[in-house]
Amino acid sequence: MFGKDVWPDDFYSHSKGQKVYLTWPVPNCAEGCPGSWIKDGYCDKACNNSACDWDGGDCSGNSAGSRYVAGGGGTGNIGVGQRWQFGGGINTISYCNQGCANSWLADKFCDQACNVLSCGFDAGDCGQDHFHELYKVTLLPNQTHYVVPKGEYLSYFSFANIAKRGVEGTYSDNPIVRHASIANKWKTIHLIMHSGMNATTIYFNLTLQNSNDEEFKIQIAVEVDTREVPKPNSTTQKTYDNLVSPVTPLPQADVPFEDVPKEKRFPRVRRPDVNATGKVQEEVKIPRVNISLLPKEAQVRLSNLDSQLERGDITLKGYNLSKSALLRPFLRNSLDTKGKPQAGTDETKDNLEVPQEDPSHQRPRGFAAARRPERWTTPAETATVNGRDHGLNPPPTQPVPKENLSPLIIPPEGRMPKEGDRDRAEGNADSHVPVNELVPGRRLQQHIPSYPGFLPWEKNKYFQDLLDEEESLKKQLAYFTDSRHAGRQLKDTFADSLRYVNKILNSKFGFTSRKVPAHMPHMIDRIVMQELQDMFPEEFDKTSFHKVRHSEDMQFAFSYFYYLMSAVQPLNLSQVFDEVDTDQSGVLSDREIRTLATRVHDLPLSLQDLTGLEHMLINCSKLLPANITQLSNIPPTQEAYYDPNLPPVTKSLVTNCKPVTDKIHKAYKDKNKYRFEIMGEEEIAFKMIRTNVSHVVGQLDDIRKNPRKFVCLNDNIDHNHKDAQTVKAVLRDFYESMFPIPSQFELPREYRNRFLHMHELQEWRAYRDKLKFWTHCVLATLIIFTVFSFFAEQIIALKRKIFPRRRTHKEASPDQIRV
Asked if 302 contacts 294 with a C-beta cutoff of 8 angstroms, the reply is yes
C-alpha atoms less than 13 angstroms from C-alpha of 161 in its C-beta half-sphere: 9
Q: Quick one: angle between helices 792-802 and 758-790, nearest 10?
A: 80
Please report the pLDDT score of residue 780 as a whole number.
95
Of 141, 176, 137, nearest to 161 (Cα)? 141
User: 50 in a domain, yes or no?
Assistant: no
Please report the pLDDT score of residue 448 as a whole number.
53
Final residue before a domain boundary, out of 530, 549, 569 = 569
User: 438 in a domain, yes or no?
Assistant: no
Using the predicted structure, report yes or no on whether residue 753 has a pLDDT greater than 60. yes
Please report the pLDDT score of residue 388 as a whole number.
40
Could you tell me the pLDDT band of residue 407, with boundaries at 50, 70 and 90? low
Please report the pLDDT score of residue 320 as a whole number.
85
- Average pLDDT, rounded, for the chain: 76
Stretch among 43-47, 187-191, 644-648 having the lowest mean pLDDT = 644-648
Final residue before a domain boundary, out of 569, 599, 634 = 569
Spatial separation of the C-alpha atoms in residues 166 and 196, rounded to whole Å: 30
Looking at the fold, whether 699 and 660 belong to one and the same domain comes out as no
Q: Say which amino acid occupies 819.
A: V
Could you tell me the pLDDT band of residue 335, with boundaries at 50, 70 and 90? low
Q: What mean pLDDT is predicted for residues 9-38?
A: 88
Looking at the fold, whether 334 and 468 belong to one and the same domain comes out as yes
Could you tell me the pLDDT band of residue 668, with boundaries at 50, 70 and 90? confident
CA 448 distance to own-chain centroid: 41
User: 660 in a domain, yes or no?
Assistant: yes
Peptide bond into 399 cis (omega under 30): no
The SS3 call for residue 173 is: coil
Q: Say which amino acid occupies 589.
A: S
H/E stretch holding 221: strand 215-224
Looking at the fold, whether 139 and 219 belong to one and the same domain comes out as yes
Other CB atoms closer than 10 Å to residue 20's CB: what's the count? Answer: 20
Of 68, 117, 344, 339, nearest to 242 (Cα)? 117
Looking at the fold, whether 182 and 292 belong to one and the same domain comes out as no
Q: What burial letters (b/e) apply to 507-537, b meaning 16+ CB within 10 Å?
A: eeeebeebbbbbbbeeeeeeebbeebbeebe
Q: How many domains does the chain have?
A: 6
Please report the pLDDT score of residue 543 as a whole number.
92
Asked if 165 contacts 106 with a C-beta cutoff of 8 angstroms, the reply is no
Looking at the fold, whether 512 and 525 belong to one and the same domain comes out as yes
Q: Which ranges in 340-406 belong to alpha helices (H)?
A: 365-370
Structural domain boundaries enclosing 702: 682-738
> Which pLDDT tens digit goes with each residue over 494-541?
889 999 999 999 888 888 888 999 999 999 999 999 999 999 999 999
Looking at the fold, whether 579 and 564 belong to one and the same domain comes out as no
User: Dihedral sign, CA of 301, 306, 309, 313?
Assistant: negative
Other CB atoms closer than 10 Å to residue 789's CB: what's the count? Answer: 8
Other CB atoms closer than 10 Å to residue 282's CB: what's the count? Answer: 13
Please report the pLDDT score of residue 257 as a whole number.
66
Asked if 155 contacts 135 with a C-beta cutoff of 8 angstroms, the reply is yes
Of 284, 286, 453, nearest to 385 (Cα)? 284
β-strands 515-517, 17-25 pairing: antiparallel
H/E stretch holding 634: none
Please report the pLDDT score of residue 68 as a whole number.
32
User: 77 in a domain, yes or no?
Assistant: yes
Select the more confidently predicted residue: 231 or 464.
Answer: 464
Using the predicted structure, report yes or no on whether residue 66 has a pLDDT greater than 60. no
Spatial separation of the C-alpha atoms in residues 594 and 596, rounded to whole Å: 5
> Which pLDDT tens digit goes with each residue over 75-120?
333 433 333 333 333 333 578 887 788 888 888 778 888 889 989 9
Select the more confidently predicted residue: 777 or 549.
Answer: 777
Q: Which ranges in 478-569 belong to alpha helices (H)?
A: 483-486, 493-509, 526-535, 537-545, 556-566
Which residues neighbour 593 within 8 Å (Cβ) at sequence distance 6 or greater? 610, 613, 614, 649
H/E stretch holding 214: none
User: 163 in a domain, yes or no?
Assistant: yes
Looking at the fold, whether 128 and 208 belong to one and the same domain comes out as yes
User: Dihedral sign, CA of 764, 767, 773, 778?
Assistant: negative
Spatial separation of the C-alpha atoms in residues 756 and 744, rounded to whole Å: 19
Q: What mean pLDDT is predicted for residues 233-255?
A: 48
Could you tell me the pLDDT band of residue 562, with boundaries at 50, 70 and 90? very high
Asked if 28 contacts 51 with a C-beta cutoff of 8 angstroms, the reply is no
Peptide bond into 267 cis (omega under 30): yes
Q: What burial letters (b/e) apply to 662-699, b meaning 16+ CB within 10 Å?
A: ebbeeeeeeeeebeeeeeeeebbbbbebbbeeeebeeb
Q: Say which amino acid occupies 308.
A: Q
Spatial separation of the C-alpha atoms in residues 397 and 416, rounded to whole Å: 19
> Which pLDDT tens digit goes with each residue over 259-292?
777 777 767 666 555 444 444 445 566 767 778 8
Looking at the fold, whether 536 and 391 belong to one and the same domain comes out as no
Looking at the fold, whether 469 and 544 belong to one and the same domain comes out as no
Q: What mean pLDDT is predicted for residues 673-681?
A: 90
Please report the pLDDT score of residue 246 as a whole number.
46
Strand runs labelled E in 629-737 = 649-650, 671-672, 676-679, 684-689, 710-715
CA 592 distance to own-chain centroid: 57
Looking at the fold, whether 551 and 638 belong to one and the same domain comes out as no
User: 236 in a domain, yes or no?
Assistant: no
User: Dihedral sign, CA of 25, 27, 32, 38?
Assistant: negative
Using the predicted structure, report yes or no on whether residue 340 has a pLDDT greater than 90. no
Select the more confidently predicted residue: 417 or 613.
Answer: 613
Looking at the fold, whether 474 and 545 belong to one and the same domain comes out as no
User: 772 in a domain, yes or no?
Assistant: yes
pTM for the full model? 0.45
- Using CA atoms, how far residue 56 sits from 27, 47, 107, 502, 507, in Å, is 16, 8, 19, 12, 9
Asked if 113 contacts 96 with a C-beta cutoff of 8 angstroms, the reply is no
DSSP string computed for 429-453: HHTT--TTS----PPPS--------
- Using CA atoms, how far residue 493 sits from 181, 497, 500, 503, 762, in Å, is 43, 6, 10, 15, 31
> Which pLDDT tens digit goes with each residue over 186-204?
899 999 999 888 889 999 9
Spatial separation of the C-alpha atoms in residues 8 and 20, rounded to whole Å: 13
User: 543 in a domain, yes or no?
Assistant: yes
Looking at the fold, whether 460 and 549 belong to one and the same domain comes out as no
Could you tell me the pLDDT band of residue 428, with boundaries at 50, 70 and 90? very low
Of 240, 201, 238, nearest to 221 (Cα)? 201
Stretch among 331-345, 385-399, 760-774, 799-813 having the lowest mean pLDDT = 385-399
Other CB atoms closer than 10 Å to residue 38's CB: what's the count? Answer: 23
User: Dihedral sign, CA of 485, 490, 495, 497?
Assistant: positive
Please report the pLDDT score of residue 482 as a whole number.
56
